Amino acid sequence: MKVALIGSGGREHALAKEIVKSKNLDKLFIIPGNPGTAQLGLNVDLDIGEHEKIVDFCLANEIEFIVIGPEQPLVDGLTDKCLEKGIKVFGPSKQAARLEGSKKYSKEFMLRHKIPTADFSSFTIGEKSAVLNYLNKTTYPVVIKTSGLAAGKGVAICPNLESASSTIKDYFEHNKFGKSGHEIVIEQFLEGEEASIFVVSSGNDYVILPSSQDHKRAFDNDYGPNTGGMGAYSPAPVVTDEILNSIEQKIIKPTIDGLIKDHTPYIGCIYIGVMIKGADAKVVEYNCRFGDPEAQVVLPNLEGDFLELIYSAACGKINKDAVRFENYSSLCVVAASGGYPEEYKKGFEIHGLDNISKDCYVYHAGTKIKNEKLVTDGGRVLAITSSDKSGDVSACREKVYAQLAKIKYDGIHYRNDIGFRALGKK
Ligand code: AMP
Ligand code: GLY
């Protein structure tokens, strides 16, 4: 079959790498892709915001199946446009993607279906006095989130009234996140250790993929601003079999059932961010797609036919035997641009990739070819990944950092402590 993959980041490079292993693949198109995906299929220079053009391209090229990587086209309804024309899609409808597209909707969904999450209230830009009233009475810390999409940056942890009031000003008066911040959710701060769980759903059935853990802060020891993710590993030892079982019963099953009851059955990957404390797990957030950089560590741990897994899910009858999880572990470190997630420069030549040993794989995220040279082209530039059969991430970590030392470009920045919570744990 001919398949189109939408997106251009490290996650899409990781998806492409698994898809091309399938014996059922005839040709892979990546819209728009990056220099990494160009080694695996044909990059097509179309804007992912131009849904009509994407659908026309797929029809003209007899593409049967579309895999949508990033959240924005999902939240904007690209799935619905493709389905109308008879093209199968892995990725939720616009209605189902509200689990990520509107934090207010997702919190109300959890409340309605009794799914454990932090207590919350929500406010709109017209309710300034109500929100100040609330902030005067609540207990701190609180977490203030834009309800709409904000590329992982619309979350502020506020230790006191002063910082909460100034965050509200940023969102409502200084328009920091535009319309996305005109509706907000304020929730109770959850303590514990975070993990990411990917559930591949066919609407009424699902497969849970190996757990992972992201590192969201920019600097070592979890300091600095939140980013899209600076590195990850899989599986996450904090997700023991017992906890995973409890997450399945208390979170995953009620989520799938709730989506059916609400008449928004979900086909695609549900990313569930959980906070784990002792035996207790609560939902921090839902995302309507695979995580980035978590996909770069979860997908290499699968054996079997990943394309078959997601295609069978898109057809509504998931093949649960399509993939197996062996005793692999994987770890990746993101090489970012100096200054990310704030301002950063692009266009620096990347050196050293010819020299990377075979026990690591370099996923491209923000790169492009300029005058026949590979240059930086985004905040997160590369994700250097290694997998190991021992089931202990320490071996992967050593391999990744040894290869990372060979990669050079102006302003390169990466964390030196990825995986620190998992070291020595099975
Ligand atoms: P979100 O976009 O909702 O995942 O939030 C981004 C990050 O902010 C999460 O990965 C957490 O590290 C942190 N965060 C969000 N909500 C909470 C919460 N209620 N308690 C503690 N930390 C949170
Ligand atoms: N790594 C976090 C995310 O993909 O949302």
Q: How far is the CA of 60 from the centre of ligand 2 (A)?
A: 33
Question: Does residue 206 register a pLDDT over 90?
Answer: yes
Question: Does residue 423 register a pLDDT over 90?
Answer: no
Q: Cβ(192) to ligand 1 under 6 A?
A: no
Q: Cβ(155) to ligand 1 under 6 A?
A: yes
d(C-alpha 295, C-alpha 300), whole Å: 8
Q: Which atom of ligand 2 is nearest to the CA of 287?
A: 5
pLDDT of residue 426: 67
Question: Which run of H or E residues covers position 128?
Answer: helix 128-137
DSSP 249: I
- Closest by CA to 100, choosing from 251, 293, 284, 227, is 284
Estimate the crossing angle of helix 10-19 against helix 306-314, to 10 degrees: 100
Q: Cβ(143) to ligand 1 under 6 A?
A: yes
Question: Does residue 424 register a pLDDT over 80?
Answer: no
Closest ligand relative to 282 C-alpha: 1
Question: Does residue 391 register a pLDDT over 90?
Answer: no
Segment 251-301, tens digit of pLDDT: 999 999 999 999 999 999 999 999 999 999 999 999 999 999 999 999 999
Segment 81-117, tens digit of pLDDT: 999 999 999 999 999 999 999 999 999 999 999 999 9
Q: How far is the CA of 350 from the centre of ligand 1 (A)?
A: 33
Q: Where are the beta strands (DSSP E) in 358-408?
A: 361-364, 367-370, 373-376, 380-388
List, in order of start, the domains of the chain with CATH numbers. Answer: 2-91 (3.40.50.20), 121-188 (3.30.1490.20), 328-426 (3.90.600.10)
Residue with tokens 């509504």: 316
Question: Does residue 307 register a pLDDT over 90?
Answer: yes
Closest ligand relative to 383 C-alpha: 2
Q: How confident is the prediction for the chain on average, in pLDDT?
A: 95
Residue 15 main-chain phi, psi, to 5 deg: -65, -45
Average pLDDT over residues 166-183: 90
Q: Whose CA is nearest to atom 15 of ligand 1?
A: 284
Q: Whose CA is nearest to atom 7 of ligand 1?
A: 155
Q: Whose CA is nearest to atom 9 of ligand 1?
A: 284
CA angle 114, 116, 117 (to 5 degrees): 120
Measured over the CA atoms of residue 33, residue 146, residue 106 and residue 253, the dihedral's sign is: positive
